[in-house]
């Protein structure tokens, strides 16, 4: 199989690239297109730097001419689209970039894929796939007593990020129903694990704790998320790519609902065990509650019964095992973290700074 992976230098994308090239024998070539914005990091791809199956291309999914060239030059069999602006805080500060990448960029990628797919010989045409990776945030917010999101839950995005991803999901669906493009969509819950850019909760808390800084927690800390270990997510994506029903959406969840405050407390306990503070105090003493961000959804929860029932997928990691692996990875890869921190990113969250 010849894959075009977009956003393959980011967190989930790079984990997918490493998994495919490290564990799958059927990947003949993997073309990795990434714009290398602040969250894209070539260091994530160091293990496959000398793998001749891996072709890295710096570029934008909004560049239709480049996409068309890559399709033709590498005889692509399938697209996995991770490319996205993905941080809610940043979308509140600057929503236009999210619309440009997540909506316009996805549209141009779809247009190029359709043009390429339309001229393929029958056998290649029937085998071609376009898999779009999306988020549970398109579904909106849940109350404590509400059932988890299913694939039938109406979209109700509450942030510019979520709205832009909902728009991209709708475009993917439309290209299937209007043009017959063989698409698949996955909507995942909150990912965590190795290589995550430290603006997200878990890596940010780890780095802040190790530096002895305050651990900023929004509001009362009781916003609930379903936590999915990134390698489990990547396994689900490949399964959907291989066996998913065309035009269908598959929710991918970790079956691990946790309030943010509990996540931070668990992280602190792991750090107390694995890298105790010199003063003997618990990392929990660094917790600081800050002003909540605007439009902060109270709860997300994913019902992933469909992908389990139809494709046999279920997460291999519990929250306890996945979080321990994550903390151990960050402790063992501080040079990677230092390289991130040496750039323009200052480990800030909305509500933390005056």
pLDDT digits (tens, 9 = 90+) for 34-66: 999 877 899 999 999 999 999 999 999 999 999
State percent of the chain over pLDDT 70: 96
- The CA–CA distances, whole Å, from 19 to 8, 37, 72, 96, 278 equal 12, 22, 25, 33, 37
Q: Does 77 participate in catalysis according to the annotation? A: no
Residue 342 has a pLDDT of 52
62-71, 111-120, 197-206, 240-249: least confidently modelled range: 197-206
Q: Does 292 participate in catalysis according to the annotation? A: no
Residue 345 has a pLDDT of 43
How far is the C-alpha of 225 from the C-alpha of 230, rounded, in Å?
15
Residue 354: which pLDDT band, with cuts at 50, 70 and 90? very low
Q: Does 137 participate in catalysis according to the annotation? A: yes
Residue 320 CA from chain centroid, whole number: 20
Check 89, 136, 303, 317 and give the catalytic one: 136
pLDDT digits (tens, 9 = 90+) for 296-325: 889 999 999 999 999 999 999 999 999 999
How far is the C-alpha of 74 from the C-alpha of 97, rounded, in Å?
29
Ramachandran category for residue 216: left, alpha or beta (phi over 0 → left; psi -120 to 50 → alpha): beta
pLDDT digits (tens, 9 = 90+) for 246-270: 999 999 999 999 999 999 999 999 9
Mean pLDDT computed over every residue of the chain? 93
Check 137, 257, 303, 317 and give the catalytic one: 137
6-10, 88-92, 168-172, 276-280: least confidently modelled range: 88-92
Mean pLDDT of 145-150: 96
Mean pLDDT of 166-177: 98
DSSP annotation string for 196-213? --TTSHHHHHHHHHHHT-
The encoded tokens of residue 40 equal 């894209």
How far is the C-alpha of 70 from the C-alpha of 55, rounded, in Å?
10
Helical (H) or strand (E) element with 216: strand 215-218
Mean pLDDT of 187-215: 94
pLDDT digits (tens, 9 = 90+) for 59-106: 999 999 999 999 999 999 999 999 998 777 788 888 999 999 999 999
Check 116, 139, 161, 250 and give the catalytic one: 161
pLDDT exceeds 70 at position 351:
no
Residue 106 has a pLDDT of 98
Nearest to 84 by CA among 162, 17, 142: 162
How far is the C-alpha of 324 from the C-alpha of 183, rounded, in Å?
35
- Paired residues of 302 in beta bridges: 149
């Amino acid at each position: 199989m010849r894959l075009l992976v977009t956003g393959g230098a980011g967190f989930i994308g790079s984990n997918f690239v490493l998994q495919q090239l490290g564990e799958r024998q059927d990947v003949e070539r993997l073309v990795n297109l990434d714009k290398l914005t602040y969250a894209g990091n070539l260091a994530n791809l160091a293990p496959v730097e000398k793998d001749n199956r891996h072709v890295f291309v710096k570029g934008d999914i909004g560049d239709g001419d480049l996409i068309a060239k890559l399709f033709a030059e590498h005889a692509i069999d399938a697209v996995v689209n991770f490319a996205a602006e993905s941080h809610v805080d940043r979308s509140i500060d600057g929503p236009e970039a999210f619309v440009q990448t997540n909506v316009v960029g996805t549209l141009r990628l779809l247009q190029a894929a359709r043009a390429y797919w339309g001229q393929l010989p029958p056998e290649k045409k029937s085998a071609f796939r376009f898999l779009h990776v999306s988020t549970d945030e398109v579904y909106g917010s849940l109350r404590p007593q509400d059932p988890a999101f299913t694939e039938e839950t109406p979209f109700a995005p509450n942030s510019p990020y979520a709205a832009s991803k909902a728009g991209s999901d709708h475009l993917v669906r439309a290209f299937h129903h209007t043009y017959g493009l063989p698409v698949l969509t996955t909507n995942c819950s909150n990912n965590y694990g190795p290589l995550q850019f430290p603006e997200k909760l878990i890596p940010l808390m780890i780095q802040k704790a190790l530096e002895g800084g305050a651990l900023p927690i929004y509001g009362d800390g009781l916003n609930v998320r379903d936590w999915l270990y990134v390698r489990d997510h990547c396994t689900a994506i490949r399964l959907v790519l291989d066996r998913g029903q065309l035009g269908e959406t598959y929710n991918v969840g970790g079956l691990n609902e946790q309030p943010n405050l509990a996540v931070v407390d668990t992280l602190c306990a792991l750090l107390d065990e694995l890298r105790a503070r010199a003063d003997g105090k618990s990392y929990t003493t660094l917790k600081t509650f800050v002003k909540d961000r605007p439009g902060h959804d109270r709860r997300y929860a994913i019902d992933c019964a469909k992908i389990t029932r139809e494709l046999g997928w279920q997460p291999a990691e519990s929250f306890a095992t996945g979080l321990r692996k994550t903390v151990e990875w960050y402790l063992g890869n501080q040079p990677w973290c230092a390289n991130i921190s040496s750039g323009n990113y200052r480990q800030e969250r909305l509500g933390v700074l005056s």
